[in-house]
Amino acid sequence: MQYRTFGKLDWEPSALGFGAMRLPILDGDSSKIDEPLATRMIRTAIDAGVNYVDTAWPYHQQQSEPFVGRVLQDGYRDKVKLATKLPSWLIKEAADFDKHLNIQLERLQTDTIDFYLLHGLNKTAWPNLRDLGVLAWAEKAIASGRIQYLGFSFHDDLSVFKEIVDANDWTFCQIMYNYMDTHFQAGEEGLAYAANKGLAVVVMEPLRGGSLTRPAPQPVADLWAGASTQRSQADWALQWVWNNPKVSLLLSGMTEMQHVEENLVSASKSGVGLLSPDELDLVDRVSKAYRSLSPIPCTDCKYCMPCPSGVAIPRIFSLYNAVQMYGDDANAKRSYNLFMSPENRADQCVECGQCEEACPQQIKIIEWLKTCHSFLAESASS
Ligand code: SF4
Ligand code: SF4
């Protein structure tokens, strides 16, 4: 295992962290974790040097935290730093902070959470928590030893990210980052911004939810085939993240023992600067080849936003484009139907035309929104 730096802390995280959000399940039911297999997977990773385990309140329909608590018995708790997250969306009053932390400590069978994150901060969740006094509350939780360090995970635009980074002396943050999403959410600029301010940066979605390991479309497959060093698609994606010195560690949500074994091999040979300039150029060309498959030439400039009817135009185009790039229909439909609020979906468009006047790419936004909605609103299983 390779170890890295973690912001200002005198502690070295393993390059690979275990994310307990995509554990193996039974009967297709995410609340039924295949505990014998998942236990072997997590303990195999820890035995190989993984020292960071990440879970959260909602993972596996609230079964991940209690499961992780059980896995870390038999001496395993002492071998890792444990991260979990305050369920920001459930916090309605200040008393809810303690209420949820106490339940989490019990579920995890521990006296302390090493790394406690405010989960999924965005432009609405953050002001709510801030105004309810989350920072003062966290100081007390740290003083009492129930939390060791405070951080946040993030899903919103770069400007919101910077505002949150600047609002507190955070120890760490967790952002989505992979070679296809360098300008999405916090992105490359946010990563550098946080790291330069001394925050450790934990990377999630290094494989873009598995999209980057799906069978590659021909133009991408041709590029990988021409590489001087042959790697699996997963290894390329992981090494690209580890290559960046500003990344502290990456989390991988592993679903099979084979994922654990392969990721451990990747992590053991990982390092800053491992990829040669030619290899970085190849990854860049792969990224461009994926993008060339996008039917909608949206650059995510957001000049069309805000839509007066609330339509999340670039986000919807990104989901539709992802279907064409990665062939992962189910993921895109799930994001659209489960994670996008109905007020932001494409069928809210009243065809006022304002967005089309603003779009520098001259995209026929109204027509494309209809296409996107009729595809994405279908059942995720279809
Ligand atoms: S045309 Fe539709 S998507 Fe565009 S600004 Fe008007 S309501 Fe919003
Ligand atoms: S203005 Fe056009 S290119 Fe920019 S985000 Fe909107 S649709 Fe995409």
The CATH 3.20.20.100 portion of the chain extends over: 16-283
Q: Is the distance from the beta carbon of residue 363 to the nearest atom of ligand 2 less than 6 Å?
A: yes
What is the token pair recorded at 296?
């909608």
Coil, helix or strand for 172? strand
203 CA to centre of ligand 1 in angstroms: 34
Q: 339-342 contacts: CB < 8 A, separation 24 or more?
A: 340/312, 340/315, 340/316
pLDDT in tens, 82-136: 999 999 999 999 999 999 999 999 999 999 999 999 999 998 999 999 999 999 9
* Adjacent-strand bridge partners of 152: 118, 173
359 Cβ closer than 6 Å to some ligand 2 atom: yes
| Best of 313, 354, 366 for a ligand 2 pocket test (most atoms within 8 Å of beta carbon) | 313
CB 304 near ligand 2, within 6 Å: yes
Give the start-end residues of each E strand in 8-92: 16-19, 25-26, 29-33, 52-54, 81-86
Ligand 1 center–CA 288 separation, angstroms: 29
Closest CA to ligand 1's atom 6: 352
Cβ 253 vs Cβ 21: under 8 Å = yes
Which amino acid is present at 327?
G
311 pLDDT higher than 90: yes
* Residue nearest atom 1 of ligand 2, based on CA coordinates: 359
pLDDT at 88: 95
Q: What's the 321 CA to ligand 2 centre distance in angstroms?
A: 13
Bond into 306 cis (ω within 30): yes
Quick one: pLDDT at residue 382?
Answer: 37
313 in ligand 2 pocket by Cβ < 6 Å? yes
Nearest ligand 1 atom, CA 353: 1
CA distance 318 to 196: 29
- CATH number assigned to the domain with residue range 16-283, chosen from the 4 options 3.40.50.300, 3.40.50.720, 3.10.580.10, 3.20.20.100: 3.20.20.100
What's the confidence (pLDDT) of residue 381? 43
Tell me: pLDDT of 276 over 50.
yes
At 183 the pLDDT is: 82
Does residue 380 carry a pLDDT above 60?
no
Interatomic CA distance for residues 33 and 39, integer angstroms: 10
Residue 379 confidence (pLDDT): 65
Mean pLDDT on 253-268? 95
Please choose, from the candidates 288, 248, 357, 228, the residue with its C-alpha nearest in 3D space to the C-alpha of residue 3: 248
Question: Which amino acid residue places its CA nearest to atom 2 of ligand 2?
Answer: 359
Contacts of 71 (CB under 8 A, 6+ apart): 38, 39, 42, 43
Can you give the C-alpha Rg of the chain in angstroms? 21
pLDDT tens for 153-183 read 998 889 999 999 999 999 999 999 999 988 8
- Rounded mean pLDDT, 348-373: 95
pLDDT tens column, 208-239? 888 899 899 999 999 999 999 999 999 999 99
pLDDT above 90: residue 301: no
361 CB within 6 A, ligand 2: yes
What number is the average pLDDT over the span 238-256?
95
Instruction: Name the residue at shortest CA distance from atom 7 of ligand 1.
Output: 349
